[in-house]
């Protein structure tokens, strides 16, 4: 993803990344010397008008953010749009970033809100297990039993049915913790609640999901 600020209009179309760059770390090199800037340095440079600095932040976090948004919106095209829009919004609002959390946590909150808005507009829920299947986190076993694909589909359908009965509040916190493996601290920042509320809400969400799953499975017997 390459974006470059349009200084004539003040809008942000893309952020160009130039120079010799390590595709794994996002670091730039000069004369064989690799210089890896800290997140704070990149943000400072970006605020001073260096588009390459923000471009490096894009390189560092775009894949991780895309994977996270795919779990929420359930569509590769929509996830890409959410990521693009969120990086643009983050660039525009970069001077409001206070550094009280990691940049990715702040960026994630922007993207998360964008993704939820899209999901609400199309009124479609994406289950945790369906998202895992889509993102390839659970690859197919070439040596599985003949009936395993059907059993797996039935399990996914059961979880999806249970997830659809959860409130948005409970779905959201399960997604952040179980799918994104977010810390309680980061979840608190993203949802703007305290850590105690994160723990209690997560506990209620897990219990409710377990209850709904048991009901779903018992009704199928």
pLDDT in tens, 204-219: 999 999 898 888 777 6
* Residue 187 pLDDT grade (very low, low, confident, very high; cuts 50, 70, 90): very high
Residues 144 and 86 grouped into a single domain: no
Is there a domain that residue 179 lies in? yes
Among 155, 173, 164, residue whose Cα is nearest residue 217 = 155
Residues 2 and 71 grouped into a single domain: yes
Is there a domain that residue 197 lies in? yes
- 185, 199 in Cβ contact below 8 A? no
Is there a domain that residue 88 lies in? yes
* Residue 33 pLDDT grade (very low, low, confident, very high; cuts 50, 70, 90): low
The residue out of 73, 89, 124 marking a domain boundary is 124
* Residue 92 pLDDT grade (very low, low, confident, very high; cuts 50, 70, 90): very high
The residue out of 82, 105, 124 marking a domain boundary is 124
Helix (H) or strand (E) run with residue 51 in it: helix 51-73
Is there a domain that residue 65 lies in? yes
Q: How far apart are CA 196 and CA 200, in angstroms?
A: 6
Residues 120 and 178 grouped into a single domain: no
Residues 112 and 6 grouped into a single domain: yes
Q: How far apart are CA 73 and CA 85, in angstroms?
A: 14
Q: Which residue has the tokens 């209009």?
A: 9
Highest mean pLDDT among 11-20, 48-57, 178-187: 48-57
What domain range includes position 55? Answer: 1-124
Q: How far apart are CA 191 and CA 179, in angstroms?
A: 16
State the pLDDT at residue 86: 96
Residues 46 and 23 grouped into a single domain: yes
Among 194, 202, 200, 195, residue whose Cα is nearest residue 174 = 202
CATH label of the domain that carries residue 141: 1.10.10.10
CATH label of the domain that carries residue 47: 1.10.1740.10
Residues 173 and 216 grouped into a single domain: yes
Is there a domain that residue 96 lies in? yes
Is there a domain that residue 181 lies in? yes
- Which has more confidence, 127 or 213? 213
Q: How far apart are CA 132 and CA 160, in angstroms?
A: 12
Token readout for 91 is 């660039």
For residue 202, pLDDT beyond 50: yes
Is there a domain that residue 129 lies in? no
CA distances from 85 to 77, 80, 112, 177, 209 (A): 12, 9, 11, 24, 32
Residues 203 and 117 grouped into a single domain: no
Instruction: Please count the structural domains in the chain.
Output: 2
The pTM of the whole model exceeds 0.85: no
Residues 117 and 157 grouped into a single domain: no
Residues 84 and 115 grouped into a single domain: yes
Is there a domain that residue 93 lies in? yes
Residues 103 and 161 grouped into a single domain: no
- Which has more confidence, 8 or 195? 195
- 70, 131 in Cβ contact below 8 A? yes
Residues 56 and 141 grouped into a single domain: no
Task: State the CB neighbour count (10 A cutoff) for residue 50.
Answer: 13
Q: How far apart are CA 17 and CA 186, in angstroms?
A: 28
Residues 92 and 184 grouped into a single domain: no
């Amino acid at each position: 993803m390459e974006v470059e600020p349009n200084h004539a209009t003040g809008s942000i179309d893309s952020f160009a990344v130039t120079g010799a760059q390590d595709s794994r770390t996002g670091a730039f090199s000069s004369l064989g010397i690799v210089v890896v800037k800290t997140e704070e340095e990149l943000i400072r440079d970006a605020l001073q008008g260096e588009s390459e600095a923000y471009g490096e932040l894009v390189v560092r976090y775009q894949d991780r953010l895309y994977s996270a948004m795919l779990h929420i919106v359930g569509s590769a095209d929509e996830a890409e749009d959410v990521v693009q829009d969120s990086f643009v919004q983050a660039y525009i609002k970069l001077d409001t970033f206070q550094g009280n959390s990691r940049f990715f946590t702040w960026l994630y909150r922007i993207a998360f809100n964008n993704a939820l808005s899209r999901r609400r507009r199309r009124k479609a829920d994406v289950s945790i297990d369906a998202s895992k299947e889509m993102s390839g986190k659970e690859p197919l076993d070439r040596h599985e039993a003949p009936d395993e694909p059907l059993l797996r589909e039935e399990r996914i359908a059961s979880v999806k049915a249970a997830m659809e009965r959860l409130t948005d509040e409970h779905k959201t916190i399960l997604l952040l913790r179980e799918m994104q493996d977010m810390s309680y601290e980061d979840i608190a920042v993203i949802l703007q609640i305290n850590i105690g509320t994160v723990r209690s809400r997560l506990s209620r969400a897990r219990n409710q999901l377990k209850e709904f799953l048991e009901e779903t499975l018992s009704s199928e017997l």
